[in-house]
Chain A
């Protein structure tokens, strides 16, 4: 395909020069990698929407139909038309004609937003915009929009030129999307097991997933939360795994449409115009993380029961509490009776013989005793104590049924054998 003006024979004298330049440009394109991708299929380029000067297919101003139904456009000003020639699909490429990524984005934007059209004027304007972006110097040397628009009917030329200018302006004004994401962890000063994650993500369209380590979201009791976007203030709860103190961390990854990528779909034509169609889109991916600035103390209890008592006496259990939140923690005790068996300790409603009449509220670390349990005749056996600590109704620490230190041997009044001193 060659450019043809509707007037100005002097320009015809330059055809030979332009052909030479075109060959040089193809060679340059090959060396810069435009054609590095091996063509995957071969097909004859077919005319798409647009105009031909005096009905000549080789002076087509517009798009070409690709085998996959998309519309592509020439990118080599001055080279012969691809019509009737074998065209190979080189796939999506990140560079044509040595364009930098910003130019590739502009090229892809025009092709993506306006390239797939059946409108002749639009296709003609896209062809002009693509040529001017992809091969600006050669395009201008050919005479630019005024010259190329001459292939269209007289009545459409102004409109096509204005449309092409709009497309170029749109591409030039396009700002590649950017954003930010931040996360913050706050520890509830009254209860270090609680707190919040504060989220701030821009743009508002960005959404993603938060993942907690060492905690869960209070509402869902899950360590992950999907669909988080914009700003959020999310209550959390620690899930320590045994250490006396721990730090929670949170990570978040968000994404949104990143607009056209710096790619185009290339259809290469040996010895003639290469064609490009819309490339790929991109994602804007944002990530953030945060770690507790201070330790979260784990409420914990260790308990020691009175070892033995006789019928008629009383027994107690003593809890040493640590990591007690300033907002308070409740201690309760239960006692389970194990009689006449070496079987595994059993703490069930059936074996329970003692419960705290009311929880003991504590607000500081220390040692605390249960109410006294009076030992009756029917209690001979072993009393298994289980102490429980709760905060805001949630069990934060609990003893283990059968803990060797949590056993009180309850005996009937018996004569204890006297040994030989």
Chain B
């Protein structure tokens, strides 16, 4: 692992570091090689990992197995904060033949993405950027808890995986866009990021104390019926997003997960961060492929 050159950039110091590593640097957010496209960044710190191709040495199976699984309820500090919504526009979904290592901050792999998810189903991996032999993917784990981050933590994480580990690319034609202020959920064409909605419904969003995060894009991670959560008629749409304001706004220990689900009362600020939908809307979301991006607009 010592042969791999990895650069971690923190905040404004990235400019100097990027100038040193030059072309081999993969930079997100403020240190992106194309300054004119630099987005405004809400989060105070954006971490970026760079792995040089010539020196890449894959982890051994034992090393891989020892890595923390980037699961919905995991907190893995060396994962990256996902770019803001304005950067994430076009995506593809993939499957994995085997578990793969995820690189974030630091030279060593940060986490492991399993080939099968918590339901034993193939993990749907969502890529948002491709650089040489690396692919930046969104991950379902957290990188920090709000309680340990001054009351605010990234709602979405990301990490780099080797591109050749990803199989069966599928381009997604549609995205889900939630306007928290307008309290609507829409399905839009992926090619018209933020373009006119094909369909739109009113939704319920988080209350003031447990708000639905904004300015971030996650994806539909999995879906399932769960009578224990009152969802025996419409499947819960589990996103990769987490509460940015509270560790567990609804109690429990599952990671403050932001779900999209059916609720009879589906209008207003009434949830713990989840997005509550009427039946027609949840059925429409349920028909979208897993991996579909979910953009939470202010």
- The contact sample of 20 A-B pairs, CB cut-off 8 A, is A340-B115, A340-B122, A341-B122, A342-B122, A380-B120, A409-B121, A412-B120, A414-B119, A414-B120, A416-B226, A417-B73, A417-B118, A417-B254, A417-B257, A417-B259, A418-B257, A419-B238, A419-B259, A420-B206, A420-B273
What mask results when residues 388 to 418 of chain A are scored 1 for a CB within 8 Å of chain B, else 0?
A: 0000000000000000000001011011111
Q: Is A307 in contact with chain B by the CB < 8 A criterion? A: yes
**Contact between chains at A420 and B120 (CB < 8 Å):** no
User: Which residues from chain B contact A308 at a C-beta distance below 8 Å?
Assistant: 224-225
Bound complex: CA A416 to CA B119 (Å): 8
| B225→A421 contact, CB < 8 A | no
Cβ of A381 within 8 Å of any chain B Cβ, yes or no, is: yes
A143 to chain B, nearest CB (A): 101
* Inter-chain contacts of A307 with B (CB < 8 A): 225
Which residues of A sit under 8 angstroms from B254, Cβ to Cβ?
A: 417-419
**Contacting residues, chain A, for B72 (C-beta < 8 A):** 417
Beyond A419-B238, A420-B274, A421-B271, is A342–B224 a contact (Cβ under 8 Å)?
Answer: no
Tell me which of A307, A341, A409, A418 has the highest count of chain B C-beta atoms within 10 A of its own C-beta: A418
CB of B218 within 8 Å of the partner chain: no
A421 to B205, alpha carbons, bound, how many Å?
10
A381-B120 in contact given A417-B238, A421-B271 (Cβ < 8 Å) = yes
Contacts of B243 in A (CB 8 A): 420
Given the known interface contacts A411-B120, A412-B120, the answer about A420 and B168 at a Cβ–Cβ threshold of 8 Å is no
B190 within 8 A of A: no
Expressed in whole angstroms, the Cα–Cα distance for A380 and B121 within the complex equals 9
Evaluate contact between A419 and B257: CB separation under 8 angstroms.
yes
For B271, list chain A residues within 8 Å (CB).
420-421
How far, in whole Å, are A139 and B226 apart by their CA atoms in the complex? 110
Residue of A nearest to B206 (CB): A420
Say yes or no: A419-B119 contact (C-beta < 8 A), given A307-B225, A308-B225, A342-B95. no
Query: What residues of B have a CB within 8 angstroms of the CB of A415 in the complex?
Result: 118
Q: Which residues of A contact B229 (CB under 8 A)?
A: 416, 418-419
Residues in A with CB closer than 8 Å to B249 are 420-421
Q: A307-B225, A308-B225, A380-B120 are in contact. Are A420 and B256 (CB under 8 A)?
A: yes
For window 242-275 of chain B, which residues contact chain A by CB distance below 8 Å?
243, 249-250, 252, 254-259, 261, 271-274
User: How far does the Cβ of B154 sit from chain A's closest Cβ, in whole Å?
Assistant: 16
Chain B residue with Cβ nearest A412: B120
Cβ–Cβ < 8 Å partners of B168 in chain A:
342
Interface residues of B in 94-142 (CB under 8 A from A): 95, 115-116, 118-122
Q: How far is the CA of A341 from the CA of B98 in the complex (A)?
A: 11
Which residues does chain B contribute within 8 Å of A411, judged by CB atoms? 119-121, 224
Task: Output the nearest chain A residue to B123 by Cβ-Cβ distance.
Answer: A342
- Bound CA span A308–B235, Å: 11
**In the complex, B26 has a CB within 8 A of chain A:** no
Whole-angstrom CA separation of A411 from B223 in the bound complex: 13
With contact pairs A308-B225, A342-B168 given, residues A420 and B250 touching in the complex (Cβ less than 8 Å): yes
Cβ-defined contact, A418 with B122, below 8 A: no
Contacts of B122 in A (CB 8 A): 340-342
- Nearest 6 CB-CB pairs, A to B? A419-B259, A420-B272, A420-B273, A420-B250, A421-B272, A380-B120
Q: How far is the CB of A28 from chain B (nearest CB, A)?
A: 86
A416's nearest neighbour on chain B, judged by CB, is B226
Name the B residues within 8 Å of A420 (CB-CB): 206, 210, 243, 249-250, 256-259, 271-274
Least CB distance from B121 to A in Å reads 7
**CB of A337, distance to nearest CB on chain B (Å):** 12
1/0 contact string of B141-181 vs chain A (CB within 8 Å): 00000000000000000000000000010000000000000
B62 at the binding interface (Cβ < 8 Å): no
Given contact pairs A340-B115, A380-B120, A417-B72, enumerate 18 new A-B contacts (beta carbons under 8 Å): A308-B224, A341-B95, A414-B120, A415-B118, A416-B226, A417-B254, A417-B255, A419-B236, A419-B238, A419-B254, A419-B274, A420-B206, A420-B257, A420-B271, A420-B273, A420-B274, A421-B271, A421-B272
Q: Which B209-237 residues have a C-beta within 8 angstroms of A?
A: 210, 224-226, 228-229, 236
Can you name the residue of chain A whose Cβ is closest to the Cβ of B251? A418
In the complex, what distance in Å separates the CA atom of A340 from the CA atom of B120? 8
Q: How far is the CA of A340 from the CA of B96 in the complex (A)?
A: 10
Q: Nearest residue in A to B94 (C-beta to C-beta)?
A: A342
Chain B residues with CB under 8 Å of A417's CB are 72-73, 118, 238, 254-255, 257, 259
How long is the Cα–Cα vector from A224 to B192 in the complex, in angstroms? Answer: 56
B-contact 0/1 string along A329-345, CB 8 Å cutoff: 00000000000111000
CB-CB under 8 A from B261, the residues of chain A are 419
Bound Cα distance from A341 to B167, whole angstroms: 11
Asked if A421 and B252 sit within 8 Å, CB to CB, the answer is: no
Distance between Cα atoms of A414 and B120 in the complex (Å): 9
Q: Counting chain B CB atoms within 10 Å of each CB, which of A340, A409, A414, A417 scores highest?
A: A417
| Least CB separation from A411: chain B residue | B119
**B60-103 interface code vs A (CB 8 A; 1 in, 0 out):** 00000000000011000000000000000000000100000000
CB-based nearest A residue for B260: A419
B288 to chain A: closest CB distance in Å?
A: 13
A421 CA / B230 CA spacing, docked (Å): 10
Contact of A418 among B95, B206, B252 (CB under 8 A): B252
Cβ distance A118 to chain B, nearest Cβ, rounded Å:
88
Q: With a CB–CB cut-off of 8 A, which chain A residues contact B258? A: 419-420
The interface residues of chain B lying within 8 Å CB-to-CB of A342 are 95, 122, 168
How far is B118's CA from A409's CA once the two chains are assembled, in angstroms? 13
A146 CA to B11 CA in the complex, in Å? 135
Q: How far is the CB of A420 from chain B (nearest CB, A)?
A: 4
A380 to B210 Cα, complex, angstroms: 36
The reply to whether B120 and A418 form a contact with Cβ atoms under 8 Å apart is no
Please indicate which of the listed interface residues A307, A308, A416 has the most CB atoms of chain B within 10 Å of its own CB: A416
A418 to B249, CA, bound (A): 11
CB contacts (< 8 Å) of B225 on chain A: these are 307-308
- What is the distance, in angstroms, from B57's C-beta to the closest C-beta of chain A? 28
Inside 8 A of A421's CB, which chain B residues have their CB?
249-250, 271-274
The smallest beta-carbon distance between A309 and chain B, in angstroms, is: 10
Q: How far does the alpha carbon of A267 sit from the alpha carbon of B175 in the complex, in Å? A: 89
Closest approach, in angstroms, between the C-beta of B85 and any C-beta of chain A? 20
